[in-house]
Amino acid sequence: MTVAMTDAAALPEALNQVQQQLPVGLTVNGQRYELHLDPRVTLLDALREHLQLTGSKKGCDHGQCGACTVIVEGRRINSCLTLGVMHDGEKITTIEGLGGPDNLHPMQAAFVKHDGYQCGYCTPGQICSAVAMLGELKSGIPSHASTDLANPRFSEAEVKERMSGNLCRCGAYSNIMDAIAEVAEGEGLLG
């Protein structure tokens, strides 16, 4: 009798858990996924725990370090600060979607060439942020460091300002800057 009452008492809680799962369709790295997520699950946890895309890291879980940076609809975001259900129908690119070992994205290759990492923990977020940051410059989106708001230009001050949300505990900033500058030059953003 006790077992039956325990099971009966657990039923409303179990139904509540099922009812809190919401359908979410995400296109991640070019592949469509249909998920059922608790509305409290962050985009970072959805990527890491539901899709096993563990490149994006959980650093501070407060949006202060940038280790979780991904690209959503062309814009970089801290995936630990947004809920997965908020991105239903959107296109997301993680470090895994930029390139792989046999076909590196130019930014990934530049990070390797310039040793833009040490421990590597922040590297996926740094690279995603750098790729999207150069996209912002191409689109003419100014930053707080832009001297010409109508036509922002690549400069060390621009990169430092735009990348300030991505922290490197090891201090590889000069190498990261060299990697970004190489890609910016290749994309015609210098000069």
Which of 51, 68, 98 finishes a domain? 98
Range of the domain at 176: 106-186
Under DSSP, is residue 147 helix (H, G, I), strand (E, B) or coil? coil
Q: Kindly report, residue by residue over 10-59, the tens digit of the pLDDT.
A: 666 655 655 689 999 999 999 999 999 999 999 999 999 999 999 999 99
Total tally of structural domains belonging to the chain: 2
Q: Kindly report, residue by residue over 68-110, the tens digit of the pLDDT.
A: 999 999 999 999 999 999 999 999 999 999 999 999 999 999 9
Which of 70, 98, 126 finishes a domain? 98
Q: Which of 76, 72, 86 is nearest to 28 (CA)?
A: 72
Which of 63, 98, 133 finishes a domain? 98
**Do 75 and 136 fall into the same domain?**
no
Q: What is the pTM of this model?
A: 0.88
**Do 148 and 83 fall into the same domain?**
no
List the CATH number of the domain containing 62: 3.10.20.30
**Do 25 and 57 fall into the same domain?**
yes
**Do 41 and 92 fall into the same domain?**
yes
